[in-house]
Amino acid sequence: MKFTAQQIAEILNGEIVGNAEVEVNSLAKIEEGKKGDLCFLANEKYTPYIYTTKASIIIVNTSFISDTEITSTLIKVEDAYSSFSQLLELYNKMQFNEVGISKKADIDENCSIGDAVFVGAFTSICEGVTIGNNVKIHPNCYIGKNVTIGDNSIIYPNVSIYHNCKIGGNNIIHSGVVIGSDGFGFAPNAENNYDKISQIGNVIIGDDVEIGANTTIDRATMGSTKIGKGVKLDNLIQIAHNVEVGDHTVIAAQAGIAGSSKIGKNCMIGGQTAVSGHLTIADEVKIAGQSGIASSIKQVGKIVQGPMAFDIKDFQRSYIIFKKLPDLYRTVNTIKKQING
């Protein structure tokens, strides 16, 4: 599909410098741009490429002033990076704007399916499922009994959503995600073995959530595991039973949140971080990657780091000392020898 500079400028509310009728049909990096490509310039580091690129249209900040003639058509906007991201999202939606239900899909007759829905081959949708308008469910997915999926959500291949879970609108769920699997609940018995504790709750996910590939979110033992509005989860994350993640919190890859912990709103959690069970993390807390959280963080906006995480500045000062320990050890031994002379 082709777009003119005029059409793009109208979408972005931008100002055109050059030929308003020039057309593009693909997106590219500015250093690799060719005729028919749309690029952007937001980082000054890449400014030299604007004079050599063959791209047809380039999105730039309103503050950009050229040093010499530019052959490409420019669209000036307040924030080039944000505007290009907006176009990427639009482009992505157009790429996957399929409608229709595959004949190879298995859909129970007692389901409610909205308008403009796509269901791919070999996807199984069980009894009592409710699917909103414009939902896209790709091949090889499993949607369990009584699941609800809100409008405009995209579910990529090989996703499993267990029974009774509720998925909000405008969600993006990537391949390999499992939502509603049993929480890790076992009780020791008299024979020194473990009896399984049935997990009878569900998972509730708010609107505008994105869940990365191969992330798992366990159902609650009772009640609900809750993921708030606007939460962004990276790939390979484990969210345990009865966890609550507050609105607009972001969690990087390979993090693990143990059972019944409550994460506040607008938090940032680095990759490979481990949060112990039954803890409370306040709003706006930032946790550096590879940290271990063994106690609650009650101060709003606290920044922590470390294997047994504490205040990040204290940790960094301690780390400087830690690196000097061999020298300190040698100095202490030298002093001891002199004293014992």
Q: Which amino acid is at 53?
A: T
| Annotated catalytic residue 138 | no
**Which pLDDT belongs to residue 94?**
74
Which residue among 138, 163, 174, 241 is the active-site one? 241
Superfamily of domain 3-95: MurE/MurF, N-terminal domain (3.40.1390.10)
Closest CA relative to residue 215, chosen from 193, 192, 243 = 243
Tell me the angle at which helices 325-340 and 312-323 cross, rounded to the nearest 10 degrees.
50
The H or E element that residue 82 is part of is helix 80-95
Three-class SS of residue 192? coil
Q: Where in the chain is the domain with CATH 2.160.10.10?
A: 100-315
Three-class SS of residue 339? helix
Q: Where in the chain is the domain with CATH 3.40.1390.10?
A: 3-95
Q: Which amino acid is at 23?
A: E
**Which pLDDT belongs to residue 257?**
98
Beta bridge partners of 148: 130, 166
Which residues of the chain are under the pLDDT cut of 70?
A: 341
**Which pLDDT belongs to residue 89?**
82
**Which pLDDT belongs to residue 92?**
77
CATH topology of domain 100-315: UDP N-Acetylglucosamine Acyltransferase; domain 1 (2.160.10)
Encoding tokens for residue 282? 């306040």
16 and 74 Cβ atoms separated by less than 8 Å? yes
**Which pLDDT belongs to residue 97?**
80
Three-class SS of residue 227? strand
Beta bridge partners of 155: 137, 173
